Structure 1
Amino acid sequence: MSATVLIVTDVFGNTPAIASLQRSLGQSCIVASPFDDGYSAKNEQDAYQAFLAAGGVHTYAKKLQAIVQEQTQIRHVIGFSAGASAWWLSNNSHLNDLHSTTLFYGSRIRDHLDIKCQHPTHLIFAEHENAYQPQQVVKALRQRGYEAELAIGCKHGFMNPYSSGFSLKTQTHYLEVLARKIAQKHEPAIPLAFGT
Protein backbone atom coordinates (compact mmCIF):
# COMPACT_ATOMS: atom_id res chain seq x y z
CA MET A 1 0.00 0.00 0.00
CA SER A 2 1.42 3.39 -0.94
CA ALA A 3 1.65 6.11 1.71
CA THR A 4 -0.86 8.91 1.35
CA VAL A 5 0.22 11.12 4.28
CA LEU A 6 3.42 13.16 4.30
CA ILE A 7 4.61 14.29 7.74
CA VAL A 8 7.17 17.09 7.54
CA THR A 9 9.03 17.27 10.85
CA ASP A 10 10.39 20.19 12.79
CA VAL A 11 14.07 20.60 13.70
CA PHE A 12 13.94 17.58 16.01
CA GLY A 13 13.57 15.31 12.98
CA ASN A 14 12.03 11.85 13.02
CA THR A 15 11.45 11.21 16.72
CA PRO A 16 9.41 8.63 18.66
CA ALA A 17 6.70 11.32 18.88
CA ILE A 18 6.44 11.28 15.07
CA ALA A 19 6.10 7.48 15.16
CA SER A 20 3.30 7.95 17.70
CA LEU A 21 1.60 10.46 15.39
CA GLN A 22 1.77 7.96 12.53
CA ARG A 23 0.11 5.29 14.68
CA SER A 24 -2.62 7.70 15.82
CA LEU A 25 -3.47 8.59 12.20
CA GLY A 26 -3.89 4.96 11.26
CA GLN A 27 -2.56 5.62 7.75
CA SER A 28 0.56 4.77 5.85
CA CYS A 29 2.88 7.79 6.17
CA ILE A 30 6.07 9.12 4.68
CA VAL A 31 8.20 11.13 7.10
CA ALA A 32 10.37 13.95 5.78
CA SER A 33 13.08 15.21 8.11
CA PRO A 34 15.67 17.91 7.53
CA PHE A 35 18.33 15.30 8.35
CA ASP A 36 19.54 12.48 6.14
CA ASP A 37 19.79 9.92 8.90
CA GLY A 38 18.60 9.31 12.45
CA TYR A 39 19.64 12.57 14.09
CA SER A 40 18.73 12.95 17.75
CA ALA A 41 19.02 16.23 19.67
CA LYS A 42 19.20 16.70 23.42
CA ASN A 43 17.42 20.06 23.38
CA GLU A 44 15.84 22.65 21.09
CA GLN A 45 18.99 24.75 20.79
CA ASP A 46 21.06 21.76 19.62
CA ALA A 47 18.28 20.72 17.22
CA TYR A 48 18.08 24.21 15.73
CA GLN A 49 21.86 24.44 15.28
CA ALA A 50 21.88 21.04 13.54
CA PHE A 51 19.03 22.23 11.30
CA LEU A 52 21.01 25.31 10.27
CA ALA A 53 24.09 23.17 9.66
CA ALA A 54 21.97 20.92 7.41
CA GLY A 55 21.16 23.94 5.22
CA GLY A 56 18.14 25.51 6.90
CA VAL A 57 14.64 26.05 5.57
CA HIS A 58 15.49 26.58 1.89
CA THR A 59 17.47 23.34 1.69
CA TYR A 60 14.61 21.56 3.45
CA ALA A 61 12.14 23.00 0.90
CA LYS A 62 14.25 21.62 -1.97
CA LYS A 63 14.33 18.23 -0.26
CA LEU A 64 10.51 18.27 -0.08
CA GLN A 65 10.25 19.10 -3.78
CA ALA A 66 12.37 16.03 -4.54
CA ILE A 67 10.23 13.81 -2.28
CA VAL A 68 6.95 14.77 -3.93
CA GLN A 69 8.40 14.23 -7.39
CA GLU A 70 8.71 10.56 -6.43
CA GLN A 71 5.70 10.24 -4.11
CA THR A 72 2.80 11.39 -6.27
CA GLN A 73 0.23 9.44 -4.22
CA ILE A 74 0.41 11.91 -1.30
CA ARG A 75 -3.07 13.19 -0.38
CA HIS A 76 -2.43 14.89 2.99
CA VAL A 77 0.50 16.94 4.29
CA ILE A 78 1.15 17.75 7.94
CA GLY A 79 4.04 20.10 8.70
CA PHE A 80 5.50 21.35 11.95
CA SER A 81 7.56 24.52 12.56
CA ALA A 82 10.57 24.43 10.19
CA GLY A 83 8.80 21.67 8.26
CA ALA A 84 5.69 23.83 7.88
CA SER A 85 7.79 26.74 6.63
CA ALA A 86 9.73 24.48 4.25
CA TRP A 87 6.51 23.03 2.82
CA TRP A 88 5.12 26.54 2.29
CA LEU A 89 8.31 27.57 0.48
CA SER A 90 8.44 24.39 -1.60
CA ASN A 91 5.17 25.46 -3.31
CA ASN A 92 4.27 21.98 -4.54
CA SER A 93 1.40 23.14 -6.70
CA HIS A 94 1.82 20.25 -9.15
CA LEU A 95 0.33 17.76 -6.65
CA ASN A 96 -3.07 17.47 -8.31
CA ASP A 97 -4.79 15.22 -5.78
CA LEU A 98 -3.70 16.83 -2.52
CA HIS A 99 -6.77 16.89 -0.27
CA SER A 100 -5.42 18.76 2.75
CA THR A 101 -2.38 20.55 4.07
CA THR A 102 -2.14 21.35 7.77
CA LEU A 103 0.79 23.51 8.84
CA PHE A 104 1.59 24.13 12.50
CA TYR A 105 3.51 27.25 13.63
CA GLY A 106 5.58 27.75 10.49
CA SER A 107 7.19 30.96 11.63
CA ARG A 108 8.99 31.76 8.33
CA ILE A 109 5.65 31.78 6.50
CA ARG A 110 5.35 35.36 7.69
CA ASP A 111 8.18 36.33 5.34
CA HIS A 112 6.49 34.73 2.30
CA LEU A 113 2.83 35.68 2.47
CA ASP A 114 2.80 36.23 -1.30
CA ILE A 115 3.06 32.47 -1.99
CA LYS A 116 -0.19 31.07 -3.37
CA CYS A 117 -1.04 27.51 -2.40
CA GLN A 118 -3.34 25.76 -4.85
CA HIS A 119 -4.64 23.24 -2.31
CA PRO A 120 -6.77 23.48 0.84
CA THR A 121 -4.34 24.76 3.47
CA HIS A 122 -5.01 25.09 7.19
CA LEU A 123 -2.43 27.15 9.09
CA ILE A 124 -2.28 27.03 12.89
CA PHE A 125 -0.04 29.38 14.82
CA ALA A 126 0.79 29.58 18.51
CA GLU A 127 -0.69 32.67 20.11
CA HIS A 128 2.63 33.48 21.80
CA GLU A 129 5.79 33.83 19.72
CA ASN A 130 8.92 35.73 20.73
CA ALA A 131 10.03 36.85 17.26
CA TYR A 132 6.78 38.11 15.71
CA GLN A 133 3.07 38.80 16.18
CA PRO A 134 1.18 35.69 15.02
CA GLN A 135 -2.13 37.58 15.17
CA GLN A 136 -0.97 39.77 12.29
CA VAL A 137 0.14 36.76 10.24
CA VAL A 138 -3.19 34.99 10.78
CA LYS A 139 -5.06 38.13 9.75
CA ALA A 140 -2.96 38.51 6.58
CA LEU A 141 -3.44 34.85 5.64
CA ARG A 142 -7.19 35.05 6.17
CA GLN A 143 -7.32 38.11 3.93
CA ARG A 144 -5.66 35.97 1.26
CA GLY A 145 -8.36 33.30 1.64
CA TYR A 146 -6.55 30.76 3.80
CA GLU A 147 -7.97 28.94 6.78
CA ALA A 148 -5.71 30.33 9.51
CA GLU A 149 -6.08 30.35 13.27
CA LEU A 150 -4.34 30.88 16.58
CA ALA A 151 -3.95 28.18 19.20
CA ILE A 152 -5.00 30.38 22.10
CA GLY A 153 -2.72 30.39 25.13
CA CYS A 154 -0.09 28.29 23.37
CA LYS A 155 3.59 28.74 22.62
CA HIS A 156 5.61 27.59 19.62
CA GLY A 157 6.03 23.81 19.71
CA PHE A 158 2.67 22.99 21.30
CA MET A 159 2.38 19.78 19.23
CA ASN A 160 5.86 18.44 20.11
CA PRO A 161 6.44 16.72 23.48
CA TYR A 162 10.17 17.54 23.15
CA SER A 163 9.49 21.27 22.96
CA SER A 164 9.28 23.62 25.94
CA GLY A 165 6.04 24.97 24.42
CA PHE A 166 4.31 21.56 24.40
CA SER A 167 0.62 21.48 25.41
CA LEU A 168 -0.98 18.05 25.79
CA LYS A 169 -4.49 19.50 25.72
CA THR A 170 -3.88 21.41 22.48
CA GLN A 171 -2.01 18.52 20.90
CA THR A 172 -4.94 16.19 21.68
CA HIS A 173 -7.39 18.62 20.08
CA TYR A 174 -5.40 18.96 16.87
CA LEU A 175 -4.69 15.23 16.61
CA GLU A 176 -8.46 14.77 16.53
CA VAL A 177 -8.75 17.46 13.84
CA LEU A 178 -6.05 15.72 11.76
CA ALA A 179 -7.65 12.29 12.17
CA ARG A 180 -11.00 13.66 10.93
CA LYS A 181 -9.40 15.32 7.89
CA ILE A 182 -7.50 12.22 6.89
CA ALA A 183 -10.43 9.89 7.46
CA GLN A 184 -12.70 11.87 5.14
CA LYS A 185 -13.44 10.07 1.92
CA HIS A 186 -12.77 12.19 -1.12
CA GLU A 187 -14.91 10.47 -3.70
CA PRO A 188 -15.34 12.05 -7.11
CA ALA A 189 -18.69 13.70 -7.62
CA ILE A 190 -21.21 11.50 -9.40
CA PRO A 191 -22.72 13.31 -12.37
CA LEU A 192 -26.46 13.66 -12.09
CA ALA A 193 -28.54 12.37 -14.98
CA PHE A 194 -31.56 14.49 -15.68
CA GLY A 195 -34.76 13.02 -17.13
CA THR A 196 -35.33 13.23 -20.85
Structure 2
Amino acid sequence: MNLVLVSDIFGKTAALKALAEELNAQSIVEPYGGVDMAFNSEQQAYEYFSQHIGLDEYVAILQKAIKPLAGNIILVGFSVGASAIWSMSAHPAIKTIVKGICFYSSQIRHHTELNSAFEIELIFPHYEQHFDVKALQAKLATKPNVSAKCVDYLHGFMNPHSNNFNQCAYDETLTVLSNKLI
Protein backbone atom coordinates (compact mmCIF):
# COMPACT_ATOMS: atom_id res chain seq x y z
CA MET A 1 0.00 0.00 0.00
CA ASN A 2 1.14 3.52 -0.81
CA LEU A 3 -0.26 6.16 1.51
CA VAL A 4 -0.05 9.65 0.03
CA LEU A 5 -0.97 12.84 1.89
CA VAL A 6 -2.28 15.69 -0.27
CA SER A 7 -1.71 19.06 1.37
CA ASP A 8 -3.94 22.06 1.76
CA ILE A 9 -2.97 25.60 0.68
CA PHE A 10 -0.14 25.73 3.22
CA GLY A 11 1.81 23.04 1.35
CA LYS A 12 4.44 20.82 2.95
CA THR A 13 4.75 22.15 6.49
CA ALA A 14 6.58 20.67 9.46
CA ALA A 15 3.17 19.73 10.90
CA LEU A 16 2.20 17.85 7.72
CA LYS A 17 5.57 16.07 7.68
CA ALA A 18 4.96 15.01 11.29
CA LEU A 19 1.51 13.70 10.35
CA ALA A 20 3.04 11.79 7.44
CA GLU A 21 5.50 10.16 9.84
CA GLU A 22 2.73 9.28 12.31
CA LEU A 23 0.74 7.59 9.54
CA ASN A 24 3.76 6.07 7.78
CA ALA A 25 2.84 7.87 4.57
CA GLN A 26 5.12 7.19 1.64
CA SER A 27 4.85 10.70 0.23
CA ILE A 28 3.31 14.13 0.42
CA VAL A 29 1.90 15.89 -2.62
CA GLU A 30 1.80 19.66 -2.35
CA PRO A 31 1.35 22.51 -4.82
CA TYR A 32 4.64 24.40 -4.43
CA GLY A 33 7.28 22.06 -5.77
CA GLY A 34 8.79 21.31 -2.37
CA VAL A 35 9.36 24.96 -1.46
CA ASP A 36 8.41 25.81 2.14
CA MET A 37 6.27 28.88 1.58
CA ALA A 38 6.15 29.82 5.29
CA PHE A 39 2.89 31.72 4.91
CA ASN A 40 2.07 34.12 7.75
CA SER A 41 -1.68 33.53 7.58
CA GLU A 42 -4.43 31.50 5.95
CA GLN A 43 -5.39 34.56 3.93
CA GLN A 44 -1.88 34.91 2.53
CA ALA A 45 -1.76 31.17 1.68
CA TYR A 46 -5.20 31.30 0.05
CA GLU A 47 -4.36 34.33 -2.07
CA TYR A 48 -1.06 32.87 -3.23
CA PHE A 49 -2.60 29.50 -4.08
CA SER A 50 -5.50 31.14 -5.92
CA GLN A 51 -3.29 33.48 -7.94
CA HIS A 52 -0.43 31.11 -8.77
CA ILE A 53 -1.72 27.51 -8.71
CA GLY A 54 -5.48 26.92 -8.71
CA LEU A 55 -7.40 23.67 -8.41
CA ASP A 56 -6.92 22.46 -12.00
CA GLU A 57 -3.14 22.82 -11.77
CA TYR A 58 -3.14 21.07 -8.40
CA VAL A 59 -5.08 18.15 -9.88
CA ALA A 60 -2.41 17.89 -12.61
CA ILE A 61 0.35 17.97 -9.97
CA LEU A 62 -1.41 15.19 -8.04
CA GLN A 63 -1.90 13.03 -11.12
CA LYS A 64 1.75 13.39 -12.09
CA ALA A 65 2.90 12.56 -8.55
CA ILE A 66 0.92 9.33 -8.24
CA LYS A 67 1.42 8.07 -11.79
CA PRO A 68 4.73 6.29 -11.04
CA LEU A 69 3.46 4.69 -7.83
CA ALA A 70 2.78 0.98 -7.96
CA GLY A 71 0.29 -1.04 -5.98
CA ASN A 72 -2.69 0.12 -4.04
CA ILE A 73 -2.74 3.85 -3.34
CA ILE A 74 -4.68 5.54 -0.56
CA LEU A 75 -4.91 9.32 -0.79
CA VAL A 76 -5.60 11.46 2.30
CA GLY A 77 -6.28 15.08 1.45
CA PHE A 78 -7.02 18.27 3.31
CA SER A 79 -9.08 21.21 2.04
CA VAL A 80 -7.92 21.98 -1.51
CA GLY A 81 -5.93 18.72 -1.47
CA ALA A 82 -9.20 16.92 -0.80
CA SER A 83 -10.80 18.89 -3.64
CA ALA A 84 -8.01 17.73 -5.96
CA ILE A 85 -8.66 14.11 -4.95
CA TRP A 86 -12.39 14.53 -5.57
CA SER A 87 -11.79 16.16 -8.97
CA MET A 88 -9.43 13.35 -9.96
CA SER A 89 -11.72 10.59 -8.64
CA ALA A 90 -13.90 10.65 -11.73
CA HIS A 91 -10.99 9.49 -13.94
CA PRO A 92 -11.41 5.70 -14.24
CA ALA A 93 -7.95 5.39 -15.86
CA ILE A 94 -6.33 5.65 -12.43
CA LYS A 95 -6.80 2.03 -11.39
CA THR A 96 -4.15 1.98 -8.68
CA ILE A 97 -6.09 4.27 -6.30
CA VAL A 98 -8.18 2.18 -3.95
CA LYS A 99 -9.39 4.87 -1.57
CA GLY A 100 -9.50 8.58 -0.93
CA ILE A 101 -10.10 10.18 2.46
CA CYS A 102 -10.99 13.84 2.07
CA PHE A 103 -11.12 16.33 4.93
CA TYR A 104 -13.14 19.55 4.70
CA SER A 105 -13.16 20.13 0.98
CA SER A 106 -15.38 23.11 0.36
CA GLN A 107 -14.74 23.11 -3.42
CA ILE A 108 -16.51 19.77 -3.83
CA ARG A 109 -19.76 21.75 -3.82
CA HIS A 110 -18.89 23.00 -7.33
CA HIS A 111 -18.38 19.47 -8.69
CA THR A 112 -21.25 17.38 -7.32
CA GLU A 113 -21.90 15.88 -10.75
CA LEU A 114 -18.73 13.76 -10.51
CA ASN A 115 -18.90 10.05 -9.78
CA SER A 116 -15.88 8.54 -8.09
CA ALA A 117 -14.17 5.57 -9.72
CA PHE A 118 -12.77 4.52 -6.32
CA GLU A 119 -13.97 4.41 -2.72
CA ILE A 120 -13.96 7.88 -1.23
CA GLU A 121 -14.73 9.09 2.28
CA LEU A 122 -15.70 12.74 2.69
CA ILE A 123 -15.37 14.34 6.12
CA PHE A 124 -17.03 17.72 6.34
CA PRO A 125 -16.90 20.28 9.15
CA HIS A 126 -20.17 21.00 10.91
CA TYR A 127 -20.30 24.50 9.38
CA GLU A 128 -19.03 26.37 6.32
CA GLN A 129 -19.76 30.04 5.74
CA HIS A 130 -20.53 29.75 2.01
CA PHE A 131 -22.80 26.70 1.78
CA ASP A 132 -25.07 24.29 3.64
CA VAL A 133 -22.77 21.47 4.74
CA LYS A 134 -25.56 19.09 5.73
CA ALA A 135 -27.30 19.45 2.35
CA LEU A 136 -24.04 18.78 0.48
CA GLN A 137 -23.22 15.82 2.70
CA ALA A 138 -26.69 14.33 2.13
CA LYS A 139 -26.45 14.81 -1.64
CA LEU A 140 -23.01 13.23 -1.96
CA ALA A 141 -23.74 10.34 0.42
CA THR A 142 -26.16 8.88 -2.15
CA LYS A 143 -23.44 8.45 -4.78
CA PRO A 144 -21.79 5.08 -5.45
CA ASN A 145 -18.36 4.63 -3.82
CA VAL A 146 -18.97 7.65 -1.55
CA SER A 147 -19.47 7.91 2.17
CA ALA A 148 -19.92 11.36 3.63
CA LYS A 149 -20.19 12.57 7.18
CA CYS A 150 -20.06 15.77 9.19
CA VAL A 151 -17.91 16.13 12.31
CA ASP A 152 -18.25 18.54 15.20
CA TYR A 153 -15.23 20.60 14.16
CA LEU A 154 -14.48 23.44 11.77
CA HIS A 155 -12.63 23.62 8.44
CA GLY A 156 -8.93 23.24 9.19
CA PHE A 157 -9.25 21.29 12.44
CA MET A 158 -6.37 18.99 11.39
CA ASN A 159 -3.92 21.78 10.55
CA PRO A 160 -1.98 23.59 13.32
CA HIS A 161 -1.57 26.54 10.91
CA SER A 162 -5.33 27.02 10.70
CA ASN A 163 -7.31 29.30 13.00
CA ASN A 164 -9.70 26.36 13.44
CA PHE A 165 -7.09 23.81 14.53
CA ASN A 166 -8.38 21.60 17.34
CA GLN A 167 -5.82 19.45 19.16
CA CYS A 168 -8.42 17.05 20.59
CA ALA A 169 -9.99 16.55 17.16
CA TYR A 170 -6.54 16.06 15.62
CA ASP A 171 -5.59 13.41 18.18
CA GLU A 172 -8.93 11.61 17.83
CA THR A 173 -8.78 11.67 14.03
CA LEU A 174 -5.18 10.50 13.99
CA THR A 175 -6.18 7.45 16.05
CA VAL A 176 -9.11 6.68 13.71
CA LEU A 177 -6.94 7.15 10.62
CA SER A 178 -4.17 4.98 12.00
CA ASN A 179 -6.65 2.17 12.69
CA LYS A 180 -8.16 2.45 9.20
CA LEU A 181 -4.77 2.31 7.53
CA ILE A 182 -3.42 -0.75 9.35
Same fold (TM over 0.5): yes
C-alpha displacement of 1:23: 1.6
1:33 corresponds in structure 2 to 30
Say which of 36, 51, 54 aligns to 1:53: 51
Say which of 81, 85, 88 aligns to 1:87: 85
1:9-28 → structure 2 map (5 Å cutoff): 9-25=7-23, 27-28=24-25
1:156 corresponds in structure 2 to 155
C-alpha displacement of 1:178: 1.3
Could you say what secondary structure the match of 1:11 adopts? coil
CA RMSD of aligned residues (A): 1.6
1:126 is aligned with what amino acid? Answer: P
Which structure has the larger Rg over C-alpha atoms?
A: 1
C-alpha displacement of 1:28: 4.1
2:99–2:118 contact (8 Å) kept in structure 1: yes
Structure 1: stretches of 5+ with no match in the other structure: 184-196
C-alpha displacement of 1:68: 1.9
1:30 is aligned with what amino acid? Answer: S
Structure 2: stretches of 5+ with no match in the other structure: none
Matched, 1:179 2:173: no
Identity of aligned residues (%): 28
Change (3 A) 1:40 1:172: same
CA distance in 1, matches of 2:113, 2:26: 29
Could you say what secondary structure the match of 1:99 adopts? strand
2:119 corresponds in structure 1 to 120
2:166 corresponds in structure 1 to 167
2:85–2:100 contact (8 Å) kept in structure 1: no
Change (3 A) 1:93 1:21: farther
C-alpha displacement of 1:74: 5.0
C-alpha displacement of 1:107: 0.5
Change (3 A) 1:95 1:181: farther
1:88 is aligned with what amino acid? Answer: W
When normalised by structure 2's length, the TM-score is 0.91
1:29 is aligned with what amino acid? Answer: Q
Alignment: residue pair count? 179
When normalised by structure 1's length, the TM-score is 0.85
1:72-111 → structure 2 map (5 Å cutoff): 72-91=70-89, 92-111=91-110
CA distance in 1, matches of 2:165, 2:178: 19
1:67 corresponds in structure 2 to 65
